[in-house]
Structure 1
Amino acid sequence: MDVLIHLFVGLHIIGIAALLGGFLTQMKALGRGEARIVPAMLHGALTMLVTGIVLMGLNEAQHYHLNYVKFGVKIAVLVVILGLVYVKRDEERVPKGVVGAVGGLTMANIFIAVLWT
């Protein structure tokens, strides 16, 4: 079971990398006002959601102690990210605030995961 948990942690990290990497690729365009939502952002956010929920289930099945408040906050932040990315995914130019919010919320979600013990 631990191998399966580690596999999904790896997939979760790949999702984070895709979401944050998609944001970082738009930084130069953000300065010119030409930023857009790239497919990697949507796919990364969906990967994070699915693997995060699977990880919660696998850890619960192992009877590990879970901090449900932390996971609730992380899922809420991710749902906001998903909403922004999904709604704006087809627009040619996205306002700076939306792209900035996606990047900021992604980094906030990372720091919640790492620092909240």
Structure 2
Amino acid sequence: MPDIDVTVPPSGTGCRECDDLNGWWVHLRRCAACGHVGCCDSSLGQHASAHARETGHRLVQSFEPGEDWWWDYVAEDWANGPALMPPTSRPAAQPSPGPGGRVPEEWREMLRAAGR
């Protein structure tokens, strides 16, 4: 299935774009096609859904510890998929929101102001 590649590892332990900008995220999502790890739509950057729009890679799996659910951005609905190459989540010691040390104290207010 072209939308899923079980042989590709995740791109890292956090959102690539947020890391490039020294930013932060609420939760993480992993692209099933290429392994790109991006931040969720509750995050300011919304980089996972932006990646889906830009690449056409429609399926993501949660990249949060203890979660294994899938989302299909095209169908805008839950999805199912096979086990992906480990690791299957960010490190459990990495906080959410994260990463540690980069999340501003007023993060909740920032999300409310952005309508998240």
Q: Which bin holds the TM-score, normalised by the shorter protein? A: under 0.3
TM-score scaled to structure 2, two decimals?
0.22
Structure having the higher strand fraction is: 2
Structure having the higher helix fraction is: 1
TM-score scaled to structure 1, two decimals?
0.22
Q: Which has the larger radius of gyration?
A: 1
